[in-house]
Structure 1
């Protein structure tokens, strides 16, 4: 009986995880990205809900989380790129942020500009951006101690993240990946991105192995 209940619980958790993950790829991806060589990673548009945080402090913390995701993605792509896993390069985030700053663009007004405008300003073929909704400071680190009953109390959920890639010339959405952030997805931003992207690696559109499988 105990084994049966354990099996049911594991299946339930598995279905929950699968339901929380959603990957979209444009049917026109290959045509739109045939000449893509370099992508830029932007800070994520972030919504941070924290108790007992004054307005200015919350604004500063929100911006920190936005850049933490940008840095974590750069770290992930850099490591994988060294292993020749991708068929595109990624602009260094320091260079991305420097160019944006020169043009008077920062986190506070980033969402005013279109993908086409940002791609032209940055001199890249596509843009990696996204959204982040959090009720904790993920960059600071969170508890990963997990209990099955956390799901029922709501203590397992820290928010949600969405990563998207858009074509620079047309501004069209090429790829999107959404996932809930829980105690099981990582203890900080770097671990979250690493686990999240590894789980989606076989479906990441610029992955060389994926392209090879598609052509065979």
Structure 2
């Protein structure tokens, strides 16, 4: 193998092995969270409003209906993962707050013909009353349209060869998650979590969804309450 070819192959291997980076996070917890949250008996986790960016070839192969259903599936996957986190981690030793089963939550919303993207049309107080809970957790996830691995790799190698002082190219898939917890009685915002995540080659929407959900779940402040 010629030295130049070897360098290109080595660079491709290095780029393809890059982990996630370029992460940003913003967390707000209300000063009154502990006092208010102690009064909560039940919280409902709503399906997340998810917007998934697709590659051009994916857009051509997928109908609008299938794309929308894919986004709904991701939204419910986040919802289910957060419920499991409450059950297995936050309430592991003693229940801090009861979590309404997501099947019940979704059944009520379906009965009212409310889609995830329509939840913003209701106040937290209205949602809590509708679901019969003391608090609601809701959020959004948006993933950008990723580049194909081949194109991203070529761009990264070109950047390295042409401008060696630059970093290993831009991320091929990025996501932004926003999660909020509201008090049902007053509608006040108790907790807000915003997280951006950029991943490189080999990442996809499933990877972004799982990574952001896992990181956000660890910050849910109910875990710090004394049962």
Shared fold, TM over 0.5: yes
Query: How far apart in 2 are the matches of 1:49 and 1:193?
Result: 18
**TM-score (norm: length of structure 2):** 0.68
Does residue 194 (structure 1) correspond to residue 210 (structure 2)? The answer is: no
Does residue 160 (structure 1) correspond to residue 180 (structure 2)? The answer is: no
Task: Call closer, same or farther: CA 1:23–1:94 in 2, change over 3 Å.
Answer: same
Match of 1:175 among 168, 174, 191: 191
Match of 2:68 among 59, 63, 72: 59
Does residue 38 (structure 1) correspond to residue 54 (structure 2)? The answer is: no
Task: Call closer, same or farther: CA 1:85–1:23 in 2, change over 3 Å.
Answer: farther
Query: How far apart in 2 are the matches of 1:116 and 1:92?
Result: 19
Does residue 104 (structure 1) correspond to residue 124 (structure 2)? The answer is: no
Task: Report which of the two structures shows the higher radius of gyration computed on alpha carbons.
Answer: 2
Task: Call closer, same or farther: CA 1:79–1:156 in 2, change over 3 Å.
Answer: farther
Deviation at 1:153, TM superposition (A): 2.3
Task: Call closer, same or farther: CA 1:49–1:188 in 2, change over 3 Å.
Answer: closer
Task: Call closer, same or farther: CA 1:133–1:160 in 2, change over 3 Å.
Answer: same
Deviation at 1:151, TM superposition (A): 6.5
Residue 144 of structure 2 is matched in structure 1 by 135
Gaps of 5+ in 1: 1-12, 138-146
SS of the equivalent of 1:153 reads: coil
Match of 2:135 among 126, 140, 144: 126
SS of the equivalent of 2:116 reads: coil
**Which 4+ runs in 1 deviate beyond 4 A?**
149-152
Instruction: Report which stretch shifted further, 22-31 or 111-120.
Output: 22-31
Deviation at 1:197, TM superposition (A): 2.2
Query: How far apart in 2 are the matches of 1:57 and 1:181?
Result: 25
Residue 33 of structure 2 is matched in structure 1 by 29
Contact 2:27–2:191 (CA<8 Å) still a contact in 1? Answer: yes
**TM-score (norm: length of structure 1):** 0.71
1:84-137, CA deviations, whole angstroms, 9 ceiling, x for partnerless residues? Answer: 265111111001001112223233533322211110011100000011111369
Query: How far apart in 2 are the matches of 1:82 and 1:34?
Result: 14
**What RMSD over aligned residues (CA atoms) do the two structures have, in Å?**
3.3
Residue 125 of structure 2 is matched in structure 1 by 116
Count residues with an aligned counterpart.
183
Gaps of 5+ in 2: 1-18, 147-155, 161-165
Contact 1:46–1:66 (CA<8 Å) still a contact in 2? Answer: yes
